[in-house]
Structure 1
Amino acid sequence: MPSFLRTIRLDTSDSQIFEAAAGPGEWAVPGGFEFCELEPDEIRGKTRQAFANGFLSLESFGRSTLVMVAEIAENELEALVQALAMHFVSVYGAPDLAAALPVARGEIDFAAELAQGQPPNTLLSVSRAHDDAGGIREEFRVMPSPASAQHALVWDVVEDGNG
């Protein structure tokens, strides 16, 4: 089963810093395409926060600071391609679904690549900035799942022989 990115909320901060916060557990892509047509000086306030650190949900089209790796069924993945393509038509002015589908598939494939090879529940964050040429540079940070963290032994149980 393939892996994909799912939004996660560790606290309520996303609802404070983003114009629209994604709900927990929504499938997501990095979503940097949303800022391609904006000049750096046009990106202010909550839009700036979404640009700098937000993943885009494919259900509510809200933003999330963190995503986690989760397994997804093939038919769900295909439904996400369709949903994103329809979003490109309705929000970004793609001429039709046929024109939007390859672009949507590229975004979905990119998100799946980020998740590929990562254990379930691995957390990812994104950091975006404009480069010197005016393009957008994205960096992704991978944080191992808390379940895979090594813990120090705090105590040990030793039988005392009395019983």
Structure 2
Amino acid sequence: MHVLDRIERKVLLNASRKQVWEALTQAEQFGDWFGIALRGKNFVAGETIQAPITYPGYEHVVWKARIERILPQTLFSFWWHPYAVEEGVDYDMETPTLVEFTIEDRAPGILLRVVESGFDNVPEARRQKAFKMNSRGWDEQMGNIESYLSPAGSK
């Protein structure tokens, strides 16, 4: 496998499995920490969901993902186009990457792992940039969910 084909991050969360699962799979909670306006929306396997990004600097972008699998308390995955932020570009012609969140018990908390794979299929012209931006993005998002689930967070 090509070294640039996948991004993998993990974080140990000081929260219950149920709290982590809900933060991932309840669309409104996901939107709260991820930076997407998902009020009143639900994640349903096989369905595509779209909503405006609320993250500063990316408010012009519509987040679009096709929910792949929701295995209760274990795995949540979706397909999306990485770093699809340019206005007027139709990313639907590209092959999306797969984002998989898995959770497992790891005393004293829950280990959350995210793997985004399929960068080899992103058009070469934007592959490196998408990989680099999403590598940074996942670092930040792991911090975001950690803060969101911490006792001092908004929960």
Q: When the two structures are superposed, what TM-score results if normalisation uses the length of structure 1? A: 0.34
Higher helix share: 1
Higher strand share: 2
> Which structure has the larger Rg?
1
Q: When the two structures are superposed, what TM-score results if normalisation uses the length of structure 2? A: 0.35
